[in-house]
């Protein structure tokens, strides 16, 4: 299971955000048994396309693609040296596929900042520094071993070179995610070292509701983390939204000038940061989104539903979601020549509406 690890300094709103995500009936509805541990939550990827499909097919229910989050508490300055929960925290973060840092940009004087002042830039740097130090420790331990191996085996030269280059990049204070590609480091080579800063990053800026409409302020924050994605929300408002009726929630969002809850954006950006996309199936029983990695082939996509579908794959009948909606019904889409028969080499696209043909 691919998971997004939520990290951040104490008191920035991580728990508030995590609770809003996982206590949210709409987002968590289809995953009642998904809370495996108190800090792990599985939520549904909001996808309005499923509502439309369910209408067309008269589907009984809607099943969204699952996205899992883990609340990784305890990252403090000095964590890499064993401060706070230290190594326990680092073990947790190692298991996450992507890292979502929650950054405090809200002002509330009643909420103490651990470093005594609100500075998103400094907070990001503090967290990055801890992760960088942890990676440098990993590399320090690994390098003597890699040196020895490279002397004996040609095929270990690549990882040795990548590890050395990674160490010098990290020593300059740059994370692998931000700098590896530009430094010509082959991330694939480093895979077995499970370095933390090589994971995809995304950022949630927890801002005051008044600032959500302040484009200049948000652009400034966005620039701090680019090319990583940034999501902006007021975590306190998000946690209030979950107790409101749909109408009340819509009113509150309108009042603060937001088209949708920030949580929806976060789940979508998190999902794409994981390198995932969805294809869709629909029938009278359910309209459903299925998760595949970007680049998956049609048989691989079929295998997500059932391994038998992959083994016995013959072909896939596919219509792009937008073409189906434009035509109105599957039959109309067929008449318009929009429904394609694709074979085993077809690379899936996000929003493909699919019916697989297979041998059992």
Footprint on this chain of ligand GDP (rule: CB under 6 A): 8, 10-16, 106, 108, 111, 206, 234-236
Q: Least CB distance from residue 76 to ligand GDP, whole Å?
A: 10
Q: Least CB distance from residue 163 to ligand GDP, whole Å?
A: 33
Q: Least CB distance from residue 255 to ligand GDP, whole Å?
A: 16
- Name the residue nearer to ligand GDP (CB basis): 181 or 244: 244
- Name the residue nearer to ligand GDP (CB basis): 131 or 235: 235
Residue 67 annotated as binding? no
- Name the residue nearer to ligand GDP (CB basis): 107 or 307: 107
Which residues are paired to 299 by β-bridges?
Answer: none
Residue 23 annotated as binding? no
Residue 15 annotated as binding? yes
Residue 14 annotated as binding? yes
Q: Show Cβ contacts of residue 57 under 8 Å, excluding neighbours closer than 6 positions.
A: 282, 283, 284, 287
**Token pair 């902006």: residue:** 232
Q: Least CB distance from residue 41 to ligand GDP, whole Å?
A: 14
The helix/strand/coil state of 234 is coil
CA distances from 6 to 39, 49, 54, 120 (A): 10, 28, 33, 16
Q: Least CB distance from residue 263 to ligand GDP, whole Å?
A: 13
- Name the residue nearer to ligand GDP (CB basis): 105 or 296: 105
Q: Which residue is nearest to ligand GDP (CB)?
A: 13
- Name the residue nearer to ligand GDP (CB basis): 214 or 307: 214
Number of other CB atoms surrounding residue 3 within 10 Å = 19
Q: Least CB distance from residue 177 to ligand GDP, whole Å?
A: 22
- Name the residue nearer to ligand GDP (CB basis): 75 or 195: 75
Q: Least CB distance from residue 18 to ligand GDP, whole Å?
A: 7
Residue 16 annotated as binding? yes
Q: Least CB distance from residue 7 to ligand GDP, whole Å?
A: 9
H/E/C letters for each residue in the chain?
Answer: CCEEEEECCCCCCHHHHHHHHHCCHHHHCCCCCCCCCCCEEEEECCCHHHHHHHHHHCCCEEECCEEEEEECCCCCCCHHHCCCCCHHHHHHHHHCCEEEEEEECCCCCCCCCCCCCCCHHHHHHHHHHHHHHHHHHHHHHHHHHHHHHHHHCHHHHHHHHHHHHHHHHHHCCCCHHHHCCCCCCCHHHHHHHCCCCCCCEEEEEECCHHHHHCHHHHHHHHHHHCCCEEEEECHHHHHHHCCCCHHHHHHHHHHCCCCCCHHHHHHHHHHHHCCEEEEEEECCCEEEEEEEECCCEHHHHHHHHCHHHHHCEEEEEEEEHHHHHHHCCHHHHHHCCCCEEECCCCECCCCEEEEEEECC
- Name the residue nearer to ligand GDP (CB basis): 267 or 276: 267
- Name the residue nearer to ligand GDP (CB basis): 8 or 303: 8
Residue 213 annotated as binding? no
Which residues make up each annotated binding site for ATP? 11-16
Which residues make up each annotated binding site? 11-16
């Amino acid at each position: 299971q691919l998971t997004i690890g939520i990290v951040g300094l104490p008191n920035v709103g991580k728990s508030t955000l995590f609770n809003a995500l996982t206590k949210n009936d709409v987002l968590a509805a289809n995953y009642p048994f998904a809370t495996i541990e108190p800090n792990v939550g599985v939520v549904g990827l909001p996808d309005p396309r499923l509502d439309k499909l369910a209408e067309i097919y008269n589907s009984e229910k809607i099943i969204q693609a699952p996205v899992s989050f883990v609340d990784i508490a305890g990252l403090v300055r000095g964590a890499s040296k064993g401060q706070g929960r230290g190594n326990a925290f680092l073990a947790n973060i190692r298991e996450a596929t992507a890292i979502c840092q929650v950054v405090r940009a809200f002002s509330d004087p009643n909420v103490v900042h651990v470093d005594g002042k609100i500075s998103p830039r400094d907070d990001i740097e503090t967290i990055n520094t801890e992760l960088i130090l942890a990676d440098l420790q990993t590399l320090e331990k690994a390098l003597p071993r890699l040196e020895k191996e490279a002397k004996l085996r040609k095929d270990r030269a690549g990882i040795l070179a990548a590890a050395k280059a990674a160490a010098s990049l990290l020593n300059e204070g740059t994370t692998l995610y931000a700098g590896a590609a530009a430094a010509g480091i082959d991330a694939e080579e480093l895979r077995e070292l499970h370095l933390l800063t090589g994971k995809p990053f995304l950022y949630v800026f927890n801002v005051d509701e008044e600032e959500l409409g302040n484009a200049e302020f948000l652009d400034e924050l966005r620039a701090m983390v680019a090319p990583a994605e940034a999501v902006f929300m007021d975590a306190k408002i998000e946690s209030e939204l979950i107790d409101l009726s749909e109408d009340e929630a819509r009113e509150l969002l309108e009042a603060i000038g937001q088209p949708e809850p920030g949580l929806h954006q976060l789940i979508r950006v998190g999902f794409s940061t994981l390198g995932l996309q969805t294809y869709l199936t629909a029938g009278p029983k359910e309209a459903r989104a299925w998760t595949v990695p970007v680049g998956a082939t049609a048989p691989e996509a079929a295998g997500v539903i059932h391994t038998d579908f992959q083994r016995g794959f013959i072909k896939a009948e596919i219509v792009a979601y937008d073409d189906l909606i434009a035509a109105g019904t599957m039959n109309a889409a067929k008449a318009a020549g929009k429904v394609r028969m694709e074979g085993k080499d077809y690379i899936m696209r996000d929003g493909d509406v699919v019916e697989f043909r297979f041998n059992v």
